[in-house]
Amino acid sequence: MAPPPTPAPPSQPSTDTASAAGRCPLCDKPTDAGYRPFCSKRCADVDLHRWLGEGYVLPGTTPADPDHWPTDDG
């Protein structure tokens, strides 16, 4: 009784394509073509929020401490 023939292993993807795709600047994962230069929508959103957060303060105004923020109590 001869053992059944084993199927050939699937061809492994070449590592050359990975180097060309680049990596996510946030988590260092392989970049996704749909979210370049990020790896996923999550990382793209994180970076976007970073930009929005930095640009939230209008020019000419200084970021004040939360303790000094005006309140609606009065």
72 three-state secondary structure = coil
By rule CB under 5 A, what count of residues binds Zn ion?
6
CA 50, 56, 61, 67 torsion: positive or negative? Answer: negative
Find out whether 50 is annotated in a ligand binding site: no
Shortest Å distance, C-beta 13 to Zn ion: 20
Shortest Å distance, C-beta 63 to Zn ion: 28
Give the pair of three-digit tokens for residue 10.
């699937």
Shortest Å distance, C-beta 54 to Zn ion: 19
Question: Does 44 sit near Zn ion (CB under 5 A)?
Answer: no
Q: What angle do CA 27, 28, 33 make, to 5 degrees?
A: 100
Find out whether 39 is annotated in a ligand binding site: yes
Binding residue positions for Zn(2+): 24, 27, 39, 43
